[in-house]
Amino acid sequence: RREADSQRRNSTIKECRRHFAFKAGDKRSM
């Protein structure tokens, strides 16, 4: 059970990071 929770958290962090990187790239391109 704990493992699944940690995995879900990891995936969420990955999504957040990807979104942040996309935002940063957008700002840079602008």
Calculate the average pLDDT of the chain: 85
pLDDT band at 16 (very low <50, low <70, confident <90, very high): confident
Residue 30, pLDDT above cutoff 70:
no
pTM of the model: 0.49
Residue 19, pLDDT above cutoff 90:
no
* CA-CA-CA-CA dihedral for 6, 12, 13, 17, to nearest 10: 160
Q: Where are the domains of the chain?
A: 1-30
